[in-house]
Amino acid sequence: MSFNVDERGYYGNFGGAFIPEMLYPNVEELRSRYLDIIAEPSFQEEFHALLKDYVGRPTPLFKAERLSGKYNTNIYLKREDLCHTGAHKINNTIGQILVAKRLGKSKIVAETGAGQHGVATATVCALMGMECIVYMGAIDIERQAPNVARMRMLGAHVVPATSGSKTLKDATNEAMRHWINHPVDTHYIIGSVVGPHPYPDMVARFQAVISEEIRFQLQEKEGRDYPDYVIACVGGGSNAAGAFYHFLDEPRTALIAAEAAGLGVNSGHSAATTFLGKPGVLHGSKSLSMQTEDGQVIEPYSISAGLDYPGIGPMHAHLFESGRATFYGVTDEEALVAAVECSQLEGIIPALETAHALAVFERLQAKPNEIVVVNVSGRGDKDLATYQNRLKLND
CA proximity to 384, closest of 168, 146, 154, 88: 146
Nearer to another protein, 72 or 181 (CB): 181
Nearer to another protein, 11 or 226 (CB): 11
Cα–Cα distance, 203 to 34 (Å, whole number): 11
Nearer to another protein, 58 or 235 (CB): 235
Nearer to another protein, 24 or 62 (CB): 24
CA proximity to 218, closest of 38, 31, 371: 371
Taking the complex as a whole, the smallest distance from the CB of residue 282 to another protein amounts, in Å, to: 7
- Single out the catalytic residue among 238, 289, 304, 377: 377
Taking the complex as a whole, the smallest distance from the CB of residue 173 to another protein amounts, in Å, to: 5
Taking the complex as a whole, the smallest distance from the CB of residue 303 to another protein amounts, in Å, to: 23
Taking the complex as a whole, the smallest distance from the CB of residue 25 to another protein amounts, in Å, to: 4
Nearer to another protein, 21 or 395 (CB): 21
Taking the complex as a whole, the smallest distance from the CB of residue 345 to another protein amounts, in Å, to: 41
Long-range contacts from 5-11, C-beta under 8 angstroms, 24+ separation = 5/197, 5/198, 5/200, 5/201, 5/315, 8/197, 9/196, 9/197, 9/198, 9/201, 9/285, 10/197, 10/286, 10/314, 11/200, 11/314, 11/315, 11/317, 11/318
Taking the complex as a whole, the smallest distance from the CB of residue 20 to another protein amounts, in Å, to: 4
Nearer to another protein, 42 or 163 (CB): 163
Q: Are 319 and 255 in contact (CB under 8 A)?
A: yes
Taking the complex as a whole, the smallest distance from the CB of residue 129 to another protein amounts, in Å, to: 25
Range list of H helices, the chain: 24-39, 41-50, 65-71, 89-102, 116-128, 138-143, 145-153, 168-181, 199-207, 209-222, 238-244, 273-276, 314-322, 332-346, 352-358, 361-364, 384-391
How buried is residue 75: exposed, middle or buried, by Cβ count under 10 Å (0-12/13-18/19+)? buried
Residues within the interface to another protein (CB under 8 A): 16-22, 24-25, 163-164, 169, 173, 176-177, 180-184, 278-284, 291, 293-297
Cα–Cα distance, 291 to 297 (Å, whole number): 4
CA proximity to 228, closest of 73, 65, 77: 73
377 is annotated as an active-site residue: yes
The DSSP symbol for 60 reads P
- Single out the catalytic residue among 68, 80, 89, 166: 89
- Single out the catalytic residue among 80, 111, 213, 346: 111
Nearer to another protein, 293 or 395 (CB): 293
Q: Are 195 and 287 in contact (CB under 8 A)?
A: no
Q: Tell me which residues are annotated as active site.
A: 89, 111, 377
